[in-house]
C-alpha cells in the first residue's frame, strides 16, 4: 500500500473492502509445508505470501462516479500452511490467507469483507480450473483486531480454505495391491507343508512386496512432523508376511523332526544289516551250483548281476512290510499340523482385527471430509 492515503483530510478513514476468487490450486508441498494457489483479489498486502508474485502484472484500476476505486489483479500466492498428513490419502488440509496493512492503523484504514464468504466460495468452485488432486470443500472468513506494542490497533482479515485430497489414485496404486498380496499370503496357509515348499513361496511374496514399496515410495508424502497412517498399514502388511514365514519355518522344522524319527526306526533294516542278511542268505545258499560256479570263476559282470539280485530281494522284503513308521514320527506330524492350524487361525484373527481398525479410522476420516 502507498504511504500516503488518497484522502483530502488525513483524519478521514479509508475504507477498503476485500474479496478474492480462487482460480487454481497449483500444488501442495508436504515437505516444505507450503500451498501454491492462483487467486484474483483487490490490491492489498498478503501476510501469508512467502514468495514473489509470478502472475502477469496489471496497471489498470476502475473508478466509478461515486469515487469508488476498484483495483484487482491476479496473484500467484505461495503461502505457508501447517499440513497434517496423518490421514493421508483421506486427509483434509486447512490453509489461510491473511490481509492487513503494514503501515496504516485502524484509525486510518479499516478493512471489511467485500462479498459474503458463501458467494466467494460458490464462485471459486465454479471458476476453479486447476486443482489436480485437491478439491475445495469449504471457505470461512474472520475479522481480527490486532493490538500493537504502542496500543494502537490494526484490522486484519483472515480467510480459511479447506482442501480435500482425491484418494482414488492412491487407493488403486497402493492399497488394493497390498490387499491382494496379503490375501495371497493368507491363502498360502492352505498349501500342505509336508508336500510343498511353502517357505520359498512366502519368501517370494515378501521380496515382491518389498520391491513394490520401493517403486511406490514416490507417491507417499515426505515430512518429519508425523507418520501417515498408510505407512503403518504397509508396515503391518510386511510384518504379517514375515510372521507367516517364521510360522512356516517352525512347522517345517517339526516335520523334519518327524522324518528323523522315521529314519531312526529300528524296524527299518539298515544297509549293513541288509548286506549281512544277504551274506547269510548267500551262505545258506552255497549249495546252489550256479552261485558256486560264480564264486569260483570271479567274473566281475556275473558278480554285479548277483549283487543286483540281492538288492532287489531287499527292496521286496521292505515293500512287503505293512507300515514301518513308528508312533514317534506320527506324533511329530500330528503336533505340527495342529500348531499350523492354530497359528493360521491366530493369523486370520489378528489380520481381520488390524485391517478393520484401520478401515474404520479411514472411513471416519472420509466421512468427516464429506461433512465439510
Q: How far separated are the first and last CA of the chain, in Å rounded? A: 35
pLDDT at 87: 84
HSE-CB for 260 with a 13 A CA cutoff: 6
Other beta carbons within 10 angstroms of residue 331's beta carbon come to: 13
Give the model's pLDDT for residue 82.
81
Q: What's residue 239's pLDDT? A: 92
Classify 267 as helix, strand or coil: coil
Amino acid 234: pLDDT: 92
Look up residue 154 and give its three cell numbers.
Answer: 490494526
Could you tell me if 112 and 59 are in contact, meaning their C-beta atoms sit under 8 angstroms apart? Answer: no
- Quickly count helices (H) and strands (E) in the chain: 9, 11
Angle between helices 289-297 and 300-319 (to 10 degrees): 130
Supply the pLDDT for residue 337.
Answer: 82
Backbone angles phi, psi at 147, to 5 degrees: -105, 125
φ, ψ dihedrals at 161, nearest 5°: -120, 140
370 contact partners, CB below 8 Å, separation of at least 6: none
Whether omega before 89 lies within 30 degrees of 0, making that bond cis, reads yes
- The answer to whether the beta carbons of residues 111 and 156 sit under 8 Å apart is yes
Alpha helices in the chain (DSSP H): 117-127, 168-170, 176-187, 198-215, 229-263, 271-284, 289-297, 300-319, 327-371
Average pLDDT for the chain = 76
Q: Which residues of the chain have pLDDT under 70?
A: 1-9, 42-60, 67, 130-131, 223-225, 257-308, 315-329, 365-372
Over residues 265-314, the pLDDT tens digits come to 444 444 444 444 454 444 444 444 444 444 444 555 555 666 667 777 77
Q: What's residue 6's pLDDT?
A: 66
Q: In 114-152, where do the E strands start and end? A: 134-147
Contacts (Cβ under 8 Å, ≥6 apart) of 322: none
pLDDT at residue 217, as a whole number: 86
Using an 8 Å Cβ cutoff, are 214 and 238 in contact?
Answer: no
R_g of the chain, CA atoms, integer Å: 41
The reply to whether the predicted model has a pTM over 0.75 is: no
Q: Catalogue all structural domains in the chain, each as residue range(s) with its CATH number.
A: 14-166 (2.70.170.10), 170-265+328-371 (1.20.58.390), 271-323 (no CATH)
Amino acid at each position: 500500500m502507498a504511504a500516503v492515503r488518497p484522502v483530502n483530510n488525513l483524519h478521514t478513514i479509508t475504507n477498503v473492502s476485500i474479496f478474492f476468487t480462487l482460480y487454481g490450486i497449483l500444488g501442495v508441498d508436504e515437505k516444505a509445508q507450503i500451498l501454491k494457489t492462483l487467486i484474483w483479489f483487490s490490491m492489498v498486502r498478503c501476510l501469508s505470501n512467502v514468495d514473489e508474485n509470478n502472475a502477469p502484472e496489471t496497471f489498470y484500476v476502475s473508478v466509478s462516479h461515486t469515487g469508488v476505486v476498484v483495483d484487482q489483479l491476479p496473484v500467484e500466492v505461495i503461502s505457508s500452511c501447517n499440513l497434517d498428513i496423518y490421514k493421508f490419502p483421506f486427509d483434509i488440509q486447512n490453509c489461510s490467507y491473511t490481509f492487513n496493512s503494514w503501515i496504516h492503523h485502524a484509525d486510518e484504514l479499516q478493512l471489511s469483507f467485500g462479498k459474503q464468504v458463501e458467494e466467494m466460495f460458490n464462485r471459486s468452485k465454479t471458476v476453479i480450473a486447476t486443482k489436480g488432486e485437491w478439491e475445495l470443500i469449504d471457505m470461512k472468513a474472520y475479522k481480527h483486531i490486532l493490538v500493537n506494542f504502542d496500543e494502537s490497533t490494526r484490522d486484519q482479515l483472515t480467510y480459511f480454505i479447506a482442501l480435500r485430497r482425491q484418494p482414488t489414485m492412491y487407493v488403486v496404486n497402493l492399497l488394493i495391491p497390498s490387499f491382494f498380496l496379503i490375501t495371497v499370503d493368507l491363502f498360502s496357509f492352505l498349501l500342505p507343508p509336508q508336500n510343498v515348499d511353502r517357505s520359498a513361496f512366502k519368501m517370494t511374496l515378501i521380496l515382491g512386496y518389498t520391491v513394490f514399496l520401493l517403486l511406490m515410495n514416490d507417491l507417499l508424502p515426505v515430512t518429519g512432523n508425523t507418520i501417515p497412517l498408510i505407512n503403518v498399514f504397509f508396515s503391518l502388511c510386511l510384518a504379517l508376511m514375515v510372521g507367516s514365514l517364521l510360522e512356516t519355518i517352525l512347522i517345517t522344522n517339526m516335520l523334519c523332526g518327524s522324518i528323523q524319527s522315521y529314519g531312526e526306526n529300528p524296524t527299518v533294516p539298515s544297509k549293513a544289516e541288509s548286506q549281512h542278511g544277504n551274506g547269510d542268505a548267500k551262505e545258506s545258499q552255497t549249495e546252489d551250483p550256479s552261485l558256486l560256479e560264480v564264486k569260483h570263476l570271479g567274473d566281475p559282470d556275473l558278480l554285479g548281476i548277483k549283487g543286483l539280485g540281492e538288492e532287489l530281494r531287499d527292496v521286496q522284503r521292505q515293500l512287503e512290510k505293512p507300515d514301518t513308521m513308528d508312533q514317534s514320527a506320527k506324533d511329530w506330524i500330528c503336533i505340527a499340523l495342529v500348531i499350523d492350524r492354530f497359528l493360521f487361525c491366530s493369523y486370520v484373527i489378528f489380520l481381520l482385527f488390524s485391517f478393520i481398525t484401520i478401515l474404520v479410522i479411514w472411513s471416519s476420516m472420509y466421512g468427516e471430509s464429506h461433512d465439510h
